[in-house]
Structure 1
Amino acid sequence: MLVRLSPSPEEQRIDAIRQLPLEPMEYCRRWVDIDPARGYRKACINALAQATGLSPHTIKDWGTNFDRRPHYIPFLLRQADLLNQFKQLVISQQIILPTNFLTN
């Protein structure tokens, strides 16, 4: 990571956002595009499992509204949310990755 003495306002904003927690229900509202009446909870659990690397069974144990989740999860979900947003920008070609992106 490149560290500058005076980060730009954009860098400061991203750094501030990275520190904000994102609760599981909010993550699902952002990234699970299924009608709540049709398998939404299962899709939400699967999205949370993919974002955290945990098993769906573990996530089910967090309770109906995921209130019993570990304390680090909202911070991990914020990182996943930012990566999802980045991915959407790449897919929509608003950001073009350099050819050596993975090797830097």
Structure 2
Amino acid sequence: MLTLYGLKPEDWGYRQKAIAEISRVTGLSPNSIKGWGKDLETDSTYILKLLDYGDMANELTMFVNKYKHLLPKIDVIDTINPIDHKPEHEG
């Protein structure tokens, strides 16, 4: 069952939270999203893609958080190579 901040689609306040979340993910104004209608449906391909990408990012975050105990410990500082800002032709 789809939930948003612990709310189900039939719960009071769900639509307003959904509009705020879609606005946050897409950068669209809440007023534009309200124009999509009662069920917040859009045929706009780029909006649907943005929402898909946001969903994938959320899924990846949940996966990493769930299994982070299995990931190797990496010291990020040791993996960064210093950049030589001195051009080769300088003496």
State the TM bucket, normalised to the shorter chain: 0.5 to 0.7
The equivalences for 1:1-104 within 5 A come to: 29=2, 32=4, 33-35=6-8, 36-92=10-66, 94-95=67-68, 96=71, 99=76
Identity over aligned pairs, percent: 28
The CA RMSD measured in Å over matched residues stands at 2.5
Q: TM-score, normalised by structure 1?
A: 0.54
Q: Which structure has the higher relative contact order (CA within 8 Å, separation 6+)?
A: 1
Higher CA-based Rg: 2
Superposed structure 1 runs of 4+ greater than 2 Å apart: 66-71, 95-100
| Structure 1 residue 66, shift from structure 2 partner | 2.4
Q: Structure 2: which 5+ residue stretches go unaligned?
A: 81-91
Equivalent residue pairs, number: 71
Q: TM-score, normalised by structure 2?
A: 0.60
| Structure 1 residue 87, shift from structure 2 partner | 1.3
